[in-house]
Structure 1
Amino acid sequence: MSLRFSRLFFVALITACAATGALAAGAAKTTKAKAAPKPALPTLVWRGDYATARAVVDDVAKAYEKSGKGRIEVQPFNTVSGLEAVEHGLADVAGSARGSAGGTESDLVFTPVAFDALVMITHPSNAVPNLTAKQLHDIYFGKITNWRDVGGKDAPINLYAVASPGDGVEYSLRRLIFGRGNQPVAAPRLYVNTAKLEEAITLDPNALGVTTLSGVATNSKVRMISVDGVHPSLATVTDGSYPLYTPIYLVTNKNNPKAAQVDAFMDFLHTDQVRALARQHQLVPYADAPQLAANDQARRAKLLSESGLKMPAEEAVPGMQASGH
């Protein structure tokens, strides 16, 4: 072997060894990085009605994760599915536009976090501007069946509703205009949740149904109808002039093994950041409007009196004053 070739072979050997060492070091670093991943954020499962999910939970979940405190897995469907999931440990938090209806729900903790408006919606081509509480009572009871009888065109009122009698929006409306949330109504067109109901109303010029202000405030495919001469808005809910407002609740199970994580999330809901998010979605933070809860009984008595009804025996809306904090 020549001296020149020996030198070249030695240089190549040293270079190869160095490269091998660098690759091994890089592999070791990669292995080390994979062996120590970043700890996953604790996750809570939220399940409930579409109205509450769209209202604020989606944005709150994003803000909560961004804060580094945890993750919220949002599973919107309807009120009853959320309450049953929390009761049986399949979800950690439920969203509901009504308080406890008693029975097994009595073991759950209903925490009011905001006020929303129950709004009557119709197709944009329907020109009826206003309905009274008495007219709503008679429409849902089946006494008024034609738009002509409430100042509209000669056409049938196609009343839409959510199928489940325990749906938060439906239950709360019926409680306000009938005095009991489980009142049967003359609504043959039934849907699994408010999102599907809203979709159907966009296709029917003679439709009428109830949903929430937070859900349709920016939806130009439906039109909100005033009630007793007051248009639903953040301002008219805040001052109590719009009569069909309802608390929005987050519902938890006191026996949940993730109680500490749930408490941390519920505390997060009281931050200025979340309260600002609520207002952006046309919700009134519950703590910002104590007068709405204080005036609830008088408001309900007035609505029922317009239809010749008296207040039921109970003293307050179930769950209205319940709070885990």
Structure 2
Amino acid sequence: MRPGKINTPALTPGPGRLARRRSALIGGALALLFLGALAGCSRGGNSTATQITVAGSTSVTPFAEQLAEEFMRQHRGQQVNIQGIGSSAGIQATQPGAADIGMSSRALQTDELAELEPIVIALDALAVIVHPDNPVENLTLEQVRRVFAGEIANWRELGGPDAPITLVNREAGSGTRGAFEELVMGKGGPPLSYRAIRQGSNGSVRAVVEGDPVAIGYISLGVVSPQVRALRIDGVEASAANVSAGRYKLVRPFLFVTRRGGTPGPLATAYLEYVLGEEGQRSLAQAGLVPAPRKETRWKR
């Protein structure tokens, strides 16, 4: 079975983001060397591959790993290798075939869409998180934008304690960061503050906020834990129900990507069908994500 075409918004990079994309290319080049070796091991002259590599977004990684474990229990002797190397690096690894399937937590850029086909596996909300002891419970989207631009630097300005705000951001090349820039900072809006602490994964952002009562960061809704608290944005709680109802606005797609013009191998096809099938979608919903809209899941049996 061949995937249907999925239409997701194309994002055209602005001049202010070009430097960040160049930084991401360095990490992507290193990832390609590693993934190329791994892909060679899995495919090495074997016409019926028993291994595939799925690489990319660290936000998608824990969910892809969970699905891979479930899939492999049902397909003995088949190996699905999940590599969390970041959205941009995963996209770059998929283009030449070093990865069988890429993972991205941001929409594809126009040039990427020319070579890759995005498949929406679920919807995720970006949760803006603080320490549970922080008395602030709600911010407007404009306030969030100004905080991460560095224009608001003290919690007192937001109804909280008289204490400086510790900003926690994601690294350049992160799909989560790219989605936050598009959804919160806005096209042509202010850049993210350079004074922020930069972390390499959702888990590390969460850990910093857990340990700092005046910190603020953003992570995938699916990995929010009791050790942090998600703020309401414009009075709306970050929840799967509000995402489904269209009330919560900081929503992004979780994507698998494959190369255009080619057919994924049998194992990659089987894994994709499992992820987008009833069992895989139910597993993602139980993990806190919103199942992919039906119009986006043409691989469902």
What TM-score comes out, normalization by structure 1 length? Answer: 0.70
1:170 aligns with 2:177: yes
Q: Which residue of 2 aligns with 1:229?
A: 235
Q: Give the one of 276, 282, 295 matched to 1:276.
A: 282
Secondary structure in structure 2 of the residue aligned to 1:51: coil
1:266 aligns with 2:262: no
How far apart, in 2, do the equivalents of 1:266 and 1:198 lie? 29
Q: Which residue of 2 aligns with 1:296?
A: none
Percent sequence identity is: 27
Task: Give the 3 Å change call, closer, same or farther, for CA 232–287 of structure 1 in structure 2.
Answer: same
| Alpha carbons 1:131, 1:227 under 8 Å: kept | yes
The one-character-per-residue Cα deviations of 1:59-86 (angstroms, maximum 9, x if unpaired) are 2101211221743111123222211221
Supply the AA of the counterpart residue of 2:254: I
Tell me by how many angstroms 1:259 deviates. Answer: 3.5
Tell me by how many angstroms 1:255 deviates. Answer: 5.9
How far apart, in 1, do the equivalents of 2:297 and 2:274 lie? 18
Supply the AA of the counterpart residue of 1:179: G
Task: Give the 3 Å change call, closer, same or farther, for CA 129–95 of structure 1 in structure 2.
Answer: same
What TM-score comes out, normalization by structure 2 length? Answer: 0.76
Q: Which residue of 2 aligns with 1:30?
A: none
Structure 2 unaligned spans of 5+: 1-47
Q: Give the one of 135, 148, 156 matched to 2:143.
A: 135
| Alpha carbons 2:274, 2:280 under 8 Å: kept | yes
Tell me by how many angstroms 1:180 deviates. Answer: 2.9
Supply the AA of the counterpart residue of 1:262: A
| Alpha carbons 1:170, 1:181 under 8 Å: kept | no
How far apart, in 1, do the equivalents of 2:89 and 2:263 lie? 20
1:74 aligns with 2:82: yes
* Rg (Cα) greater in structure: 1
| Alpha carbons 1:111, 1:324 under 8 Å: kept | no
Higher helix share: 1
The one-character-per-residue Cα deviations of 1:254-284 (angstroms, maximum 9, x if unpaired) are 3667544323322222211011101101111
How large is the Cα RMSD of the aligned pairs?
Answer: 2.5
Q: Give the one of 107, 113, 137 matched to 1:99.
A: 107
Aligned residues: 251
Q: Give the one of 170, 178, 191 matched to 1:184.
A: 191
Tell me by how many angstroms 1:104 deviates. Answer: 4.4
Structure 1 unaligned spans of 5+: 1-39, 291-320
1:198 aligns with 2:198: no
Structure 1 moving runs of 4+ over 6 Å: 321-325
